[in-house]
Structure 1
Amino acid sequence: GAESALLINNAGIVEPIAPLGRQGSAAIARAVTVNVSAALVLADAFAATSTNVADRRLVHISSGAGRHAYTGWSVYCATKAALDHHANGVRQDALPGLKIESLAPGVIDTGMQSTIRGTSEEDFALRAQFVELKATGALASPEEVGAKIVEHVTGKNFGVEIITDIRTA
């Protein structure tokens, strides 16, 4: 009897952070499972169980890294790009009442950022840039970004664009 339903796929891990050949098969498999497989399985279940809901909204929390490659992040970039392409494919399915977006949240002061800053420059050549973001206060707070995401995904412009960024949505 619900009038609307919303699924936000927000799970994600940045590891392994390393060039190809030093990533490790277990770490790669874990990242693909968390970042892609779980999101796609949940999206399928959501679509299957919400067919009687007129306003269905599905959000993949993606990343700018899914749209631009970064050294040491080939697995993370690939998994986030997979979410972007999944959203494009789902849009082509034209399921009744279903709107979808793959939404990049920007650079947020989370545990993921701590992990990035703790990585060696040998594995992540851009480490100093992320240390600088923290030092200069350029990281957004999770609360601020979360509020923007809620406002956007419940708003009238949700689903107009498939690949979006909360900083410009």
Structure 2
Amino acid sequence: MMNRLVHYGAVLLVIAAVAAGLLSSVNTITAPQIEKINREIVNKARKQVLPLAAEFKEAAEVTAEGETFIPGYDAEGNLVGYASTVKTNGYSGVITFVLGLDTKGTITGLKVTGQSETPGLGTNVENADWQALWVGRDESYEFNKSVDGFAGATISPMAVFTGVKKSTKAFEAEVKN
């Protein structure tokens, strides 16, 4: 009886070790590709949220209150605003979005790039019409449940608002000229 338990334990240990090794190898192979894809998603989102920018200079990034702002320049080299990748806790996990701000701190766009919210409820933060509501707002905007929320889900839109508020507050305090 004891030999059987030791045998089964050893077999289970070998299977677990092989599986762990395979998972580690697959992660090592896929991690650079995943990082590249995520970078492309963020770069595309930057252009969407700050449409006047022809170029973003990551080397000239500005960090304020834990938020990173990447300056965007038009074709003539004039600063037109900043793009910031924001992470905030939603109902089911982290919501990641790119926020565009002009030089005065007015929101020029918002694009959700990652979320794991409840399908049919919190996932509505990815709705283009809802994201467009943020354009023209600034640090002084206050969340309005009847406008900014959607039926059955207030935590996810409130989480986005919290991220927007944190980013615009940091912008006003330390980035805005």
Q: Which has the larger radius of gyration?
A: 2
Q: Same fold (TM over 0.5)?
A: no
Give 1 or 2: higher strand fraction: 2
* TM-score, normalised relative to structure 2: 0.30
Scaled by the length of structure 1, what TM-score is found?
0.31
